[in-house]
Amino acid sequence: MLEAITGMFSGSALSILIKSSGAALTLLVVVPALMKLFLVTVDEGSAAIRTRNGKPIIRRASRSRGDGRGEVVVLRPGTHGAFPIFLWYRMVDVRARSTDLPARTLTGADGHQHVVHASFDWRPFVTGHDLRVLELDVVDVRERAGNIVGAALRDRVHRLAGPVLPANHELSPELVSACASEVREQCGVELLAVLVTGDALTDGFLLSQALRSPDPTAHDRWDAASAVYADRLTSVG
């Protein structure tokens, strides 16, 4: 038995063992490492942007677009060949997400004030031009898109008559159609929906109603809530 074991590590047997183990090591370790090095795998919900020195590479603008701002090279989900010595890729999350707008006090057409809490759903467009805007031209996509959506919401509430905002299934499509094109142009993202999550009359409006003398001939139209609010007011000074 001892002679058989020592015979495996001598002469031609040792040479065969070294060659076979080297081939197995190459097959199991080296080849997968090289494949991983020269292949880029983009997962679902992501996109890859070609970069050089950490910055996206801008290609010449297409003639059909005609805005002169160029595009980035985008890889969609799947496995793609790569040349890491010269080019690298940065992953971008292109899944839908939601961003809250700060609570705002907005005044309607007839003086009603609303405390509006809203949010908007959005996702990046997976195109070379739109992702270029997302990556290079905008410091904070959420802030700029929020400003555009907030302005559209303010304009809509300013035209509103009455103390109640429309339901989301009516308000959201109207706001999306009003500012979706500007959001894409300025931010490179798709506006999916605008949702109002809270709405209430402010204390300022209730105070103005409470201080207003009721019409004795229109007692039925007097808002009891305003009267209760007025009774709770205390003088200062």
Which one, of 100, 101, 102, 104, lies nearest residue 202 by Cα? 104
- 54 — alpha (psi -120 to 50), left (phi > 0) or beta? left
Tens digits of residue pLDDT in 41-51: 889 899 999 88
If one compares 133 and 24, the residue with the highest pLDDT of the two is 133
SS (H, E, C) 44-65: CCEEEEEEECCEECEECCCCCC
If one compares 198 and 4, the residue with the highest pLDDT of the two is 198
pTM over 0.75: no
- Model confidence at 235, pLDDT cuts 50, 70, 90, reads very low
- Model confidence at 124, pLDDT cuts 50, 70, 90, reads very high
Distance of alpha carbon 166 from alpha carbon 188, whole angstroms:
29
